[in-house]
Amino acid sequence: MIDRWFPVAAVDEACGTPQGSGRVEKAIFTWFASRPIAQARAAALTSLLPFDNALKPLIDLAVRSGDQQAIGELAKRVVAAHSGKRPVVLDMFSGRAMIPLEAARAGADAIGVDLSPVATLAGRLLADYPARDWSAEPNLPISYSTISGSLDLEVGGKDRLVRDIEVILSEVGRRISERVRPFYPQNELGQFPWGYLWAITIPCDGCKRRFPLLGSLALRHPYKKTNDLGQSLWLIPEKDTWRVDVIDGPPVQQPTYSSGLKADGGKKKGKAARCLFCGFVHPLEVVKGKGEAGQYQDSLLVVADTDQTGKRIFRLPSQDERAAATGTKPGADHSGPYSAFPTERIPPGNVHTVMASGYGYRTFGELMCDRQTRMFVEATSVIASIFDELIAAGFSSDYAAALSSFAASVLVRWLKHATRGARLRQHGSADGSKNNNLQVDHIFTNEASVNFQFDYFETGPGAGAGTWSSVSTTAVQAVAKVLREPKGRPVKLRRASATALPLRDSSVDAIITDPPYYDMIEYADASDLLHVWLKRCLYRAEPDLFGPGSQHPDGLQDKNQEIIVRRVHEPNRIKHDTEFYESMLAASFSEARRVLKAEGHLVVVFGHSDPDAWRRLLGALQTAGFVVTSAWPSRTESANTGVASIKVTVTIGCRVAPARRPLGMASEVDREVVEAVTERVRQWDADGLALEDQLMASYGPAMEVYGRYSRVVNPDGTDADLDRYLTIARRAVRDAMRLRVDQLPLETFDVVTRFAVFWLRAKGRAEVPKGEARFFAQADELRLSDLRDRILAESKAGFRIRLDEPSPVTPGSSVFEVVRAMAHAWDEGGTEAVATIIAQADRDASDQHLWAVVGDLASHLPASDKVAKALAAIKRTSSTISTLIGSVHQSKVQRTLFDELEA
């Protein structure tokens, strides 16, 4: 079915809903990218079912609302379509196994493969363990079952998994609290505080006294509705030391670490630290150098607690609390095969992913203060011991592993709110107009980079945001929700490379996969922090993933085989450049072709804004012997997913290339590509797909046409390459949309203006990667060198359209450049200055193209934009300017005649 129809509108709608986005499924385990459930479901169903118009409403219902009856009926149809046997579906980049989960629900026997042991564990927790029947397992030991759970669920059948997980998590939390009790003194109410705010201190280069680095002094914003004044830190310098106090209301001081400040009070780009005592300013490079020199020290500032009414407050720590916080040692007695706390070294040069390594921290165990490290050491020890106890109580090794692994998943999600990268997140506003809830922000706020900051928040063993108790509750609810969904067979999940699949030749009916997106996420580097803790609690429960025999020599995950483009080449590693990415992707697709049955389908879900990423993907498919047969764009990501996201992904259907394809002539193939894209644009317009998204989606139909031929030959006998057809596709989108500028067709403008107007329509003022900028230029047969500095400004992030004052205009200047000059002339000299610019460009007062671009820019730029304001004013005074242009022209003519007479 995918070759002829895909429920695009249903996917778009469902991805914005809880049941279609997959947000609940993502709550089971922390991972960095995943398919929304709706898109995975649509891809599975349309890949496994034959084309039948009668099935469309049922598929639409299943995707749009997750209707269980519809999914169940479609699963029966899938089996029937495969001669009564369950088809075998493989995802060779399975991640957290969203696609295999939906393939299993669609009636398939699903297999997931991923290189990362962390991702493989995530997949088992989502798509394997919840789908099994554990009813034959013995009851939990009496010491566990006496713990009261918070959910009223039936015990028996598969629901007993949720009950047992809840009990195990409660027991783990209780044991952790008991073990760390000496390090976390209880408050006056006999309870553990829920958190602690710390800061790193450095010695001042000016006065030599040590001071704290704080980016904010606000603790809790005020909230007028409840008469809450809020709370803030007050830093008090004393003779040779400092102390803090907690005051009501907003801060009355400036933070000590903020956007760069010069010693004289002037501002400088970047951040800097100002000494609390003498005001000496330390640039960020100096601050980092102190970390490299081992001069950082952790200092406990305040305790986050609750008062007798349950309100969250901040208070100063007691003497006992200070002593306990600073006197804790990170190590402990440990009988496992690894050291008690992670001594694995952060790979050199990895500062863009594990940011703390750029501040002198060298091992993963150093990413926390000593006390927090000890907390996690005890937690891993408890989880490891739970597995042994379950085995001794007669549980199967699989069920003991499942329960232990769910406990480890909570550890990972707890870790997400830990380390020196976790900050206190204060909701609300300084004016008290908004609710002032408090949270602990997660450490992956910058997509998949592990955050670092000097003032960080440590959660305690009690109840509160980001604590074991809080994260456990969310995990139990997520598992319960997954168990309420349609049940497929358990997915088989293996750790292996996509370039060496552990499957027989021609054994798979369909491959549906979501390959790594070029340079978007460095999965292994970002998840090594999770890996080093998981291996310490699951080395016996999941030995194929975390046992000593499964480990890479450096104790981290294998990155040599990871199919990504690395933004920074790190020492002693294989260079993961664009050529490596394409060759490895081609090797994985070749493996896909080996295991795929002759009539099978390969479906690739892909989305990236850089055309170079698309060229590499499509080139890899071509090299592996596949041809694109369909491409369906969907709005699959929303801003609240909490993961790395893109606006649109394309579901690409592929088949093995026929043995005998005809030879294509470039001129004919060009025409076919334009026709195919033009036809799709009509549908995309009806679906409301934005211009920028249509440009990306156009690659699909272009490759469908391109793949019909064994070769596409230019008139000179050379082969027409992929770049040609990606460029033609983008141009076809623009032409098909018949863009107009104040009723004038875009194609009637000069080529530079045509480029600039289209760029602004598609990208606005955003930075555009170099690869995409090149494709924009090629659509108008321009080169970046023609546009650099003149029309586009280049930076490390890419290119951005220039709206500042251009070079002096001449009769050869483009309309776009003349209009830019007019906008800046307005600010300097009003109507007369604008008239002078138009005359210098030798433009008539009635030049329709000139005034069309004036109006277009004024309407498409933000109203607050300086250029937009100037152009709007020019448009209002156009009649006056036209009159002045005549005067300027007349003056110019008279001056020319005078010069001739003088000569």
Reduced 3-state DSSP string for 753-776: HHHHHHHHHHHCCCCECHHHHHHH
Q: Does residue 836 sit in helix, strand or coil?
A: helix
> How far is it, in rounded angstroms, from Cα 120 to Cα 494?
7
Q: Does residue 606 sit in helix, strand or coil?
A: strand
Give the pLDDT confidence score for residue 859 in this predicted structure.
Answer: 86
The DSSP element (H or E) to which 513 belongs, if any, is strand 508-513
The DSSP element (H or E) to which 458 belongs, if any, is strand 455-459
Q: Give the position of tokens 């290189």.
A: 115
CA distances from 324 to 55, 160, 372, 415 (A): 65, 40, 12, 21
Give the pLDDT confidence score for residue 157 in this predicted structure.
Answer: 43
Q: Does residue 851 sit in helix, strand or coil?
A: helix
Q: Give the position of tokens 């996201």.
A: 645
A 10 A CB-CB count for 711 gives 11
A 10 A CB-CB count for 6 gives 25
For the stretch 615-625, pLDDT in tens is: 788 888 888 98
Beta partners for residue 245, in sequence order = 234
Strands 649-656 and 508-513: unpaired
Give the pLDDT confidence score for residue 899 in this predicted structure.
Answer: 52
Torsion of CA 889, 893, 895, 901, to 10 degrees: 180
| Residue ranges in the chain modelled with pLDDT below 50 | 150-158, 638-646, 893-894, 897
Please compute, for residue 440, the number of CA atoms within 13 A of its CA located in the half-sphere on the CB side. 30
Do the beta carbons of residue 35 and residue 636 sit within 8 Å? Answer: yes
Structure tokens of 871?
């152009």
Do the beta carbons of residue 523 and residue 114 sit within 8 Å? Answer: no
> How far is it, in rounded angstroms, from Cα 128 to Cα 96?
11
Q: Does residue 205 sit in helix, strand or coil?
A: coil
Give the pLDDT confidence score for residue 17 in this predicted structure.
Answer: 83
Residue count of the chain, please give it. Answer: 903
Cβ partners under 8 Å of residue 702, min gap 6: 673, 676, 677, 725, 726, 728, 729, 732
> How far is it, in rounded angstroms, from Cα 433 to Cα 223?
6
Do the beta carbons of residue 633 and residue 689 sit within 8 Å? Answer: yes
Reduced 3-state DSSP string for 620-676: HHHHCCEEEEEEEEECCCCCCCCCCCCCCEEEEEEEECCCCCCEEEHHHHHHHHHHH
Q: Backbone dihedral region of 428: left (phi > 0), alpha (psi from -120 to 50 degrees) or beta?
A: left
CA distances from 172 to 99, 175, 195, 230, 468 (A): 31, 5, 19, 35, 9
CA distances from 693 to 608, 683, 722 (A): 10, 13, 20
Topology of domain 8-132+490-522+562-657, CATH: Rossmann fold (3.40.50)
Give the pLDDT confidence score for residue 887 in this predicted structure.
Answer: 72
CA distances from 838 to 609, 825, 846 (A): 37, 10, 11
Do the beta carbons of residue 45 and residue 74 sit within 8 Å? Answer: yes
Do the beta carbons of residue 820 and residue 851 sit within 8 Å? Answer: no
Structure tokens of 4?
């002829």
CB-based burial, 785-795: b 16+ in 10 Å, e otherwise = eebeebbbeee
> How far is it, in rounded angstroms, from Cα 560 to Cα 568?
14
Cβ partners under 8 Å of residue 92, min gap 6: 113, 498, 501, 511, 513, 588, 591, 592
Domain boundaries, the chain: 8-132+490-522+562-657, 185-376+423-467, 661-736, 815-902
Strands 218-220 and 231-237: antiparallel
> How far is it, in rounded angstroms, from Cα 836 to Cα 785?
29
Give the burial class of 239: count Cβ atoms within 10 A of its Cβ; 0-12 exposed, 13-18 middle, 19 or more buried.
exposed
DSSP state of 49: S
Phi and psi (nearest 5°) for 337?
-80, -10
Cα-to-chain-centroid distance, residue 804:
32
Give the burial class of 582: count Cβ atoms within 10 A of its Cβ; 0-12 exposed, 13-18 middle, 19 or more buried.
buried
CA distance from start to end of the chain = 81
E strand intervals along 155-280:
195-203, 210-212, 218-220, 231-237, 242-248, 257-261, 267-274
> How far is it, in rounded angstroms, from Cα 138 to Cα 450?
41
Per-position DSSP letters for 266-317, written without gaps between them: -EEEEEEEE-TTT--EEEHHHHHHHHHTT--EEEEEEEEEE-TTS-EEEEPP
For the stretch 523-566, pLDDT in tens is: 888 899 999 999 999 999 999 999 998 888 889 998 888 888 78
Structure tokens of 35?
């398919």
CB-based burial, 196-214: b 16+ in 10 Å, e otherwise = bbbbbbbbbeeeebbbbbb
Give the pLDDT confidence score for residue 602 in this predicted structure.
Answer: 96
> How far is it, in rounded angstroms, from Cα 524 to Cα 770?
26
Q: Give the position of tokens 């400088």.
A: 268
Beta partners for residue 267, in sequence order = 261
* The dihedral sign for the CA sequence 855, 860, 862, 866: negative
Per-position DSSP letters for 63-121, written without gaps between them: HHH--HHHHHHHHHHHHHHTTTSPPEEEETT-TT-HHHHHHHHTT-EEEEEES-HHHHH
